[in-house]
Structure 1
Amino acid sequence: MRLNHVYTCVCFILLCSSFIQHNEPKPLVIKTKFDFFTTDNLGNIYIVKEDELMKYLSNGKMFARYSNLRLGAISSVDATNPLKIVLYYKDFQQILFLDNQLSLNSDVVSLEKLGYEQTDLVCASANNSFWIYNKQNNELNRFNESSKKITSTGNLKQVLRSDIAPDYMMEYNGYLYLNSPETGIYVFDIFGAFSRIISIKNLTQFQVNENIIYYQKDSSFCSYNYTLFEDACKVLPNHGKLVGLRYGNKKLYSGFKDSLLIQEF
């Protein structure tokens, strides 16, 4: 009698597991080749291929395109504010701002005319301002909407007493996160004062939400709570070599050579 009860329980568990797997939502797939991609807080997706930016809605439908052949390839896209998307063209040291229709909504900013000819990184900041990292003097500068400098860190190699080679930065909730793969993520406040270093190394890109850093590690999706010093990773299904990974709105966006996979997570 007891054996029959155990057998019934096992069958019920297997049946439930099969039902859950059978009803798991199928991932949404966008078939396209790209160099890199990003997302915004509304679930829109921005895919870059050389000089072209393509915006897809959260349902995977193509919405708009933008291209400027005069400026060459797009180096970076920051869609933190989906109403003012920041495009950076490193080869020409120019910053463009697009609205949610991917139309120009303000004057082009020439960093050369502002006196910054070796700017490696650009990202969005609060109140329609923006940050740049200038390689010539290893300095972070923040500019307001009128392209007037309002914050400067000074030479970071002297401030931090360390050699840094930043390759990515983003602002979140009044703090700037500057990634230097060999040393970690340096955090500065909105006034350019150094706050802390988060010792996650060898990253190329990441996201910040509350006190958590989300990032890709090989074929895993990882999170690190830098206030509790807790980390966790989850190995993802093998759909090919990952070339990009983002998380938002309870969805995981996995980029591959010729497709983008969007799934509930």
Structure 2
Amino acid sequence: MKNVIYLFLLMCCSISFCQNQKLRTTALNTKELENNTYIGFDGLGNNYYIINNVFSKQNENQIWEYKNVALGRITSVDYVNPLKIVLFYGDFNSIIILDNQLNEIQKLNLFDIDNTILASKIGMASQNKLWIYNALKQQIMLFDYLKNTSKIIGNPIQENIKYTQSDFNNFYWIDEINNWYSIDIFGKVSLLANIPPFEKIQIIDNKKLLFLKDKSLYCLNNILKTVYEIEIVEKSFQNFYYKDQILAIFTNQQIKFFKLKLP
């Protein structure tokens, strides 16, 4: 019975998306880059970079930096809460939590806390918790970083994961056959859609995502079942980031900002 229900949901979510509309952008400004890896920006006017494995936060007036050579390469950065920034060092299964001035406020070595946790994905959740995808058990967990306790939510994920992203209340993942799922903090799993092939992707919420394919950028609206091509003059860029109706596209040399309203 469960398999029948799953197949029905998959068929519903795999309906072909229409692709006959375009979204226009308005060019805003350009920033130069010098051997930096640009990560993105927050709603407070700060830009985030990794420069020679040093995490950097910059605005028009100030630059802050954090480095921890002992933990190796920075695997990922989560700044969904700009006041508590999460750095993940995968080589040492370690998490660093920073304040808004990049002062270290907490250091967690997951092997020291629980040697059954091998994190491959990390994100900030609500109520002093972190999202963790435990690669050893293929399970999603909520980890309380003040109490050093964890709670497994949902069943083990059977498919290989291509991409993950999270916000305070949801953990999203896309599997190897491009099924897009979410799980909330209470353990409710939703199959949102089967999405088109992509090279780069950013999930905006449970209704929309942006993806890069063949040097073109698209917006998928899961509710309207429509894929919109985003009109930008720049055709050679490595990645992008979107927040608060601002789209940034970037290469190794430049970041270009555009105004973009998503449907």
Q: TM-score normalised by the shorter chain: which range applies? A: 0.7 to 0.9
Q: Is the 8 A contact 1:50 1:72 kept in 2?
A: no
Q: For residue 251 of structure 1, what is the aligned residue in structure 2?
A: 246
Query: Which one has a larger percent strand, Structure 1 or Structure 2?
Result: 2
CA distance in 2, matches of 1:140, 1:256: 33
Amino acid at match of 1:215: F
Structure 2, unmatched stretches of 5+, are 1-25
Query: Which one scores higher on RCO, CA 8 angstroms, separation ≥ 6?
Result: 2
CA distance in 1, matches of 2:28, 2:226: 31
Structure 1, unmatched stretches of 5+, are 1-23, 158-162
CA distance in 2, matches of 1:201, 1:149: 34
CA distance in 2, matches of 1:122, 1:201: 25
Amino acid at match of 1:110: N
CA distance in 2, matches of 1:253, 1:132: 28
Amino acid at match of 1:212: K
Structure 2 vs 1, CA of residues 182 and 235 (structure 1 numbering), >3 Å: closer, same or farther?
farther
- Percent identity, please: 22
Kindly provide the CA deviation profile for residues 133-168 of structure 1, in whole angstroms up to 9, marking residues without a partner as x: 1122111111123231134323221xxxxx222432
The 5-angstrom pairing of residues 97-176 of structure 1 reads: 97-105=97-105, 107-113=106-112, 114-146=114-146, 147-157=148-158, 163-171=159-167, 174-176=169-171
Amino acid at match of 2:250: G
Structure 2 vs 1, CA of residues 212 and 36 (structure 1 numbering), >3 Å: closer, same or farther?
same
> How far is the alpha carbon of 1:206 from its aligned partner?
0.8
| TM-score (normalised: structure 2) | 0.78
Instruction: Report the 3-state secondary structure (helix = DSSP H, G, I; strand = E; otherwise coil) of the residue aligned with 1:127.
Output: coil
Q: For residue 15 of structure 1, what is the aligned residue in structure 2?
A: none
| TM-score (normalised: structure 1) | 0.78
> How far is the alpha carbon of 1:222 from its aligned partner?
2.0
CA distance in 2, matches of 1:43, 1:182: 37
Rg larger for: 1
> How far is the alpha carbon of 1:210 from its aligned partner?
6.5
CA distance in 1, matches of 2:54, 2:99: 16
> How far is the alpha carbon of 1:96 from its aligned partner?
0.6
Structure 2 vs 1, CA of residues 42 and 182 (structure 1 numbering), >3 Å: closer, same or farther?
farther
Alignment RMSD (CA, Å):
2.3
